[in-house]
Structure 1
Amino acid sequence: MKNRLPVEHFHFPVEKIKAGYYTDAYFLRTEEILNGDNHHPRVMMQLFTREPVVVCGIDETIALIKTCAHNPENITIHALHDGDEVAPWETLMTIEGDLADFAHLETIYLGFLARQSRIATNVRRVVKAANGKPVLFFPARYDTYQTQESDGYAAMIGGIKGFSTDANALASNGKGLGTIPHALIAAYNGDTLAATSAFDKYVAPDIARIALVDFDNDCVGTTLQVARKLGRKLAGVRLDTSGTMVDKSLLSQMGMFKPTGVCKELVHNVRTALDAEGFDYVKIIVSGGFDAERIKEFEALKVPVDTYAVGSSLFDGNINFTADIVMVDGKECAKAGRVHLPNPRLELVK
């Protein structure tokens, strides 16, 4: 049996949630009406999505119900697990109880599931495309910091093990990765070698020395300059050429391919230059606009990339979940177009 995150892992603003601060108003009025009319049928709420996804946010939904529902001891939950792959219309969770006890939570848990499943699904696709090569989760700058812990958890569920911030890495008990930004190079007057040397001098030796080599739009030249200086201490170089730029090493090769950004020809040029001078141990990390399709293309062409750093594309798309009542007091009762869909994969949540 798979483990679930314990309820204590999550921290909710309980009073605000119970008061309906984050809830669509009609759910609050639903509870008001049911309580005012003393009408308390036992319902079954059924959750599904309309597309194949890697579902994530289930454990947080369970914790939300157990923490912020009224009379949670009277609510029964059956659910899949975070990380399970779900088919369109497949029931991923049922919630049974008095609707007046948990109607105020629907807005919130559908949001958990939507965001976390979107990230987990995108990550799973990217990890699969990378064919076992490391993928780094680097999209923290593309959304508010408040989501970083849950985003990192969703990425871990999707299969990523390297993260850019400590908050992203919390769920995996890791630390944020990353070495040199363009800002540090700029602070050293655009001298990549000086910035990398300073990094090597002042940063703990157990942190990998990975040089960012596109500042001067001369990835091959800068790579060799840094490799000659650091020798065996250089673990890797990162290529991050802008999608509107053509690297200096490609100018004589142009004509038969799209030369902008981190293209396959640029990666080959850097790998060839490193190997020619005996730096075959130096890894190549690529970043800048990578998604599952682009990684799949690189892998099919056997481009010599060692690690992919992926950012904004992991937030792409929109995955929606729906919750419907399908049973009332043990009898089928659903709106037209919905029906009770039992799923033998669901497990009773204790």
Structure 2
Amino acid sequence: MDDKVPPSALAGDIAARTDVYFNRTRQVVARFGDKRVTYAVFLRRPVIAAPRLMLEWLQDVATERGTSFEFDVTHPEGSWTGAGEPLVYITGSLTQLSDLETIFLQKIGPACVAAHNAYQMCLALPGVSFLAMEARHCAGAEMQDMMAYAASVGSAAARKEGAKGFVGNANDGTAHWFGTPRGRGTMPHALIGYAGSTVRAAEMFHEAFPHEPLTVLVDYFGREITDALAVCRRFPELAASGNLSVRLDTHGGRFVEGLDPAESYAALERHAPGAIRRYRSDTELRYLVGTGVSAAAIWRMREALDAAGFPRVKIVASSGFGVDKCRVMADARAPVDVVGTGSFIPDVWTETYATADIVEYDGVPMVKVGREFLLRRNGARKKNGG
């Protein structure tokens, strides 16, 4: 009879997902004698520190293995970290740590870069509220949770500098990262297609959820201005109370209703002439006066709403709002109230690669040549033992 205790799900997951050479290193060290080591974890680009998911996972592993790890968090969550600066030192048994590197690096690199992107976006538009809409762009639940966490970290860092930041997200599962019990949202384009008209979709939603603020997509039929005003006239009380918003999500294949290149330039000339007189890259010009949700489109919508007597109706903008687009919108003083975005997810995935090197063996500093910058500085303290 086999009385061996079966491996736990966590242990099996680690063994299956980690690189084989780390698994073999663990076996070699167990055979020839353990050492107490310290790993330095870093990224090669500036980031906002977001180590929580990694640290919590390592704590869980330590508990299951009946061991403990010590963490010297040199850059606390939400703090700016320069390229190559160690974010965390992890100390413990080499036998217990050597097979964890693959997975713990997965849990810190992307989060730190996404947090930095979210931080930059919030600071670029400090008076604008952001809504995290990353879920549909994520490769599964684990990434979805990580990206929502990252947005919350970057947002919190920006709020310390006066920005409104992220006020929520679009799904219930990760809403807790933003301090809310559930996600936010009203309708996708599919509901408008189902209803047959933008106004009818708004009526259906309001009847089903009468106490919810109403945000209505207005680009489905290519009549952004016409349909926005029709919804406002259908719901004048919501419009007057500030509980009605129109959402621009026009794709990049066409201009918002009533705009073309000349009209787009004219809109910015009326409101932010300096923004188009400075040198611009092709991408920046598209964000200013091009197709899709441009700064000119947002200004045109604001003009139409105000002229029709709906100054309290808010404008929500989505579609490709990353760091660069937010900066251009700020330069054009685009009158947007809320930005819905999943574009804080890193564009260049190679930038998210975190790295770890052992920098001490049994208390003796030692690291591969070229990585001496990772060695602990004199007086570094070990803390947060697991």
State TM-score, norm by structure 2: 0.81
Partner of 2:227: 222
Distance of 1:111 and 1:272 partners within structure 2: 46
- Summarize deviations over 1:272-291 as a string: whole Å, max 9, x none: 11111211000111111111
Counterpart of 2:296 in 1: which secondary structure?
Answer: helix
Query: Is contact 2:232–2:310 with CA below 8 Å preserved after alignment?
Result: yes
- How do residues 6-21 of structure 1 correspond to structure 2 at under 5 angstroms? 13-18=9-14, 20-21=15-16
- Summarize deviations over 1:298-332 as a string: whole Å, max 9, x none: 11121211111112353322322111111112222
Query: Is contact 1:135–1:310 with CA below 8 Å preserved after alignment?
Result: yes
Partner of 1:46: 40
Distance change (3 Å), C-alpha of 1:76 and 1:185: same
Counterpart of 2:293 in 1: which secondary structure?
Answer: coil
Deviates more, 1:175-184 or 1:257-266: 257-266
Query: Is contact 1:76–1:349 with CA below 8 Å preserved after alignment?
Result: yes
Answering whether residue 383 of structure 2 is matched by residue 348 of structure 1, we say yes
Counterpart of 2:151 in 1: which secondary structure?
Answer: helix
Query: Is contact 1:250–1:259 with CA below 8 Å preserved after alignment?
Result: no
- Uncovered stretches (5+) of structure 1, i.e. residues with no partner: 1-11
Partner of 2:57: 64
Amino acid at match of 1:40: D
- Number of residue equivalences: 334
Partner of 1:236: 245
State TM-score, norm by structure 1: 0.89
Distance change (3 Å), C-alpha of 1:305 and 1:231: same
Question: Superposition RMSD on alpha carbons, in Å?
Answer: 2.2
Amino acid at match of 2:58: I
Query: Is contact 1:44–1:327 with CA below 8 Å preserved after alignment?
Result: yes
Partner of 1:91: 86
Shift of 1:252: 8.9
Distance of 1:198 and 1:185 partners within structure 2: 10
Query: Is contact 2:134–2:148 with CA below 8 Å preserved after alignment?
Result: no
Shift of 1:72: 5.3
Query: Is contact 2:250–2:293 with CA below 8 Å preserved after alignment?
Result: yes
Partner of 1:9: none
Query: Is contact 2:71–2:90 with CA below 8 Å preserved after alignment?
Result: yes
Q: Percent identity?
A: 29
Distance of 2:94 and 2:59 partners within structure 1: 14
- How do residues 185-264 of structure 1 correspond to structure 2 at under 5 angstroms? 185-189=192-196, 191-205=197-211, 207-234=212-239, 235-251=244-260, 253-254=262-263, 256=265, 258-264=289-295
Partner of 2:154: 158
2:114 to 100, 114, 119: 119
Deviates more, 1:245-254 or 1:42-51: 245-254
- Summarize deviations over 1:224-249 as a string: whole Å, max 9, x none: 10000011214210011111112231
- Summarize deviations over 1:180-229 as a string: whole Å, max 9, x none: 2110000012x000011111111141x21111111111211111100000
Partner of 2:371: 338
Query: Is contact 2:299–2:335 with CA below 8 Å preserved after alignment?
Result: yes
Partner of 2:95: 100
Distance of 1:93 and 1:28 partners within structure 2: 23
Counterpart of 2:42 in 1: which secondary structure?
Answer: strand
Distance change (3 Å), C-alpha of 1:255 and 1:166: closer
Query: Is contact 1:14–1:67 with CA below 8 Å preserved after alignment?
Result: no
Counterpart of 1:312 in 2: which secondary structure?
Answer: coil
Distance of 1:255 and 1:149 partners within structure 2: 39
Query: Is contact 1:149–1:169 with CA below 8 Å preserved after alignment?
Result: no
